[in-house]
Structures are given as C-alpha cells and as structure tokens.
Structure 1
Amino acid sequence: MDVRLARLDDNKAILEIYNEAVHNTTATFDTVDRTYEQQVQWFEKHGDMHPVLVAVLNDRVVGWASLNPYSDRLAYARTAEVSLYIHRDFRGQGIGKRLLNDVLEAGRNAGLHTVLSRIAEGNESSIRLHRQYGFGVVGTMKEVGFKFGRMLDVVMMQKML
C-alpha cells in the first residue's frame, strides 16, 4: 500500500468512500450524499497547510485522510481538524493507522500546531486509534448530532504537533 497526496482525479473514489460513510456510519454527521461538484470544491480548498492524502492498493484508492481548516478566523490558522475514512471492504487492515500517521506528519511539516478530531459516541476503534497517535480527550459534546433516529454525543480529541 502506498500513501500519497491526493490528486483531482482521486475525487471520485474519495467521494464514493465518503458517501458510503454518510449512509452507514456515524463517522460523519452528513445525512445526504455529497455531490461530485461539492467534492471538488471541498478538495480545492485544501493545499499545503491542509493536505488530503490517499491510500492506494493495487491502483485503487482504499482510504483517505485530510487536515481541514478548523475555523476561518485567523487566530485558528495553525489549528486543523482531521478527517479519516476507509473503504468498507478495507477496514481493520491498518490503513487508517498509516493514513493518520502520514497526515499528522504532513501537518507538522506544514507548520500546524494543533489537530482536533470529533468522534461520535460508540466509535471506540476510532478513539483507540487516535489515542495510539497521541490524541487525548478534551471533552464530550452532549447530544449535538441526530443520526439514525437518535441524538449522539461527540468526543473531542486533540493532539499538539
């Protein structure tokens, strides 16, 4: 498996992975599919400071990670929020570990200071993964998202780079 910077032509695969998560997981609180046009707009807002990486196995994108601006307020410029999604057929194979490691390193190299992660309650594997890479829990936001018929808490985790 290789991890590399995402290219514009990776967006179809990134979108497929993301939209599957929209429908079947609480990894995102989106409840409707993202369109390809929205995906490209999202991608174009990223750059050196906020990279998008893809994991490629046998010429197929099987996962992706990104560092996203936390806020448009300038005082937050060195803070990012991480996103990490793995294709459903490739979860549990260490791809998430590699992507998280590499995207954090890219953020460090870009001059970021802090990375945040919001994880829905019950996603213990994601919380464990983030802990392995030095994230600590900084709080729980109670019942902030409604998905799959219930209100969900969100655990906020943080890592200082």
Structure 2
Amino acid sequence: MTYEIKPIAEDHIPGFRATLDAVAREQKFLSFLEAPPLEQMRAFVLNNINERWPQFVVVAEDEIAGWCDVLPNPRRTVSLHCATLGMGLLPKYRGQGIGRKLMQRTIDAALARGFTRIELTVRETNVNAIALYRSFGFETEGLHRKAVCIEGRYENTLSMALTS
C-alpha cells in the first residue's frame, strides 16, 4: 500500500474531519463520539497551521487515512513545554506500521519544537495503543476509574507521558 505522511494543510480539512468522525463513531478510542462541525474543525486546523504545531495526516488511496498531532497544553504554567498527543487511523489502515511511522514523525517534530513533555490519555482496554505508546517510551502515570461512560458502560483510562 502506498501512503504519504504530510503536515496537515487547508485542503486536508474536510478529509481530516471525516476520518476523525469515523474513528469517533467507533466509540472505542476517542473522548468524543463525533467530530465537531466542519467550520469549527477548519478554525482549529488553520490555527494549528498558523502556530506551526505538529499535526500530520496520512494520505492513502486518495483519502485521509489517519492523523497525529501534538498540541500545547492550554494551561499557561505548562504550555511552554507540555503538549498532548492525539491520533487515529481508519480501521483498514491499522496493524500495518503506519501509525508507528506517523507517531514517530509527529513526536520528532514536537521535540524539535521544544516540547519536553508529551501527554496522552488512553482507554485501558485499548491494549494495542498502550503497547505502541510504551514502545516510544511513554510511561503510565495514573489510572482514571470510570472516566468514560458510553451507553451506560464505564471504562477506565490511563494517563501516560513521554519526557525528554
């Protein structure tokens, strides 16, 4: 399969939103159940581009197959060094090493940008993602019991971080 990892660009926004929405609707991975409206996504992405935050997409088979970003923490006391990683891939692109390459590119850009702490939260049941994060050096820092509730089903999440 041929794919390319690229910094997100304005013309990627509709495809990025569609991919984010598809992953969110799986109800297994993200902290929200659907993507925000297109105009809200446009403002979000254009701000990230303007600020040059690390945000990449995978383009495969004429679609956005996935994304990974490392965005600064909004709290002022940590925003100069601390950021949060988010990522997702459409199901047909998982398990092929694409996520690993995408994450490596994004983390490299985040470290080059000067971030010294990259945080994330992950559902405790997402063992594949946890293994991927650990392989990059992320360490578990906390357990959040009943942090997610979807259709009456509770799930725990883990807080993980990578420090340099």
TM-score (norm 1): 0.91
Number of the residue aligned with 1:75:
78
Query: How has the CA–CA distance of structure 1 residues 78 and 32 changed in structure 2, closer, same or farther, with 3 Å as cutoff?
Result: same
Which structure 2 residues correspond to residues 138-157 of structure 1 after superposition, within 5 A?
Answer: 138-157=141-160
1:102 aligns with 2:120: no
Task: Tell me the distance in 2 between the aligned counterparts of 1:21 and 1:148.
Answer: 17
Number of the residue aligned with 1:87:
90
SS in 2 for 1:92: coil
Which structure 2 residues correspond to residues 1-161 of structure 1 after superposition, within 5 A?
Answer: 1-47=3-49, 50-161=53-164
Matched length:
161
Deviations 1:10-58 (A, max 9, x none): 1111111111122113321212432111111221231455221011224
Q: Is the 8 A contact 1:49 1:111 kept in 2?
A: no
User: How big is the alpha-carbon RMSD for the aligned residues of Structure 1 and Structure 2?
Assistant: 1.6
In terms of mean alpha carbon deviation, does 11-20 or 72-81 score higher?
A: 72-81
SS in 2 for 1:75: coil
Task: Tell me the distance in 2 between the aligned counterparts of 1:16 and 1:5.
Answer: 17
Which amino acid is 1:40 matched to? Answer: R
SS in 2 for 1:45: helix
Q: CA deviation at 1:116?
A: 0.5
Deviations 1:51-76 (A, max 9, x none): 21011224432111011222232433
Q: CA deviation at 1:120?
A: 1.0
Task: Tell me the distance in 1 between the aligned counterparts of 2:4 and 2:97.
Answer: 12
SS in 1 for 2:53: coil
Give percent identity, aligned residues only: 20
Which amino acid is 1:27 matched to? Answer: F
Task: Tell me the distance in 2 between the aligned counterparts of 1:101 and 1:21.
Answer: 21
Q: Which runs of 4+ in 1 moved over 3 A?
A: none
Query: How has the CA–CA distance of structure 1 residues 109 and 33 changed in structure 2, closer, same or farther, with 3 Å as cutoff?
Result: closer
Q: CA deviation at 1:146?
A: 1.2
Gaps of 5+ in 2: none
Q: Is the 8 A contact 1:29 1:147 kept in 2?
A: no
Task: Tell me the distance in 2 between the aligned counterparts of 1:24 and 1:99.
Answer: 21
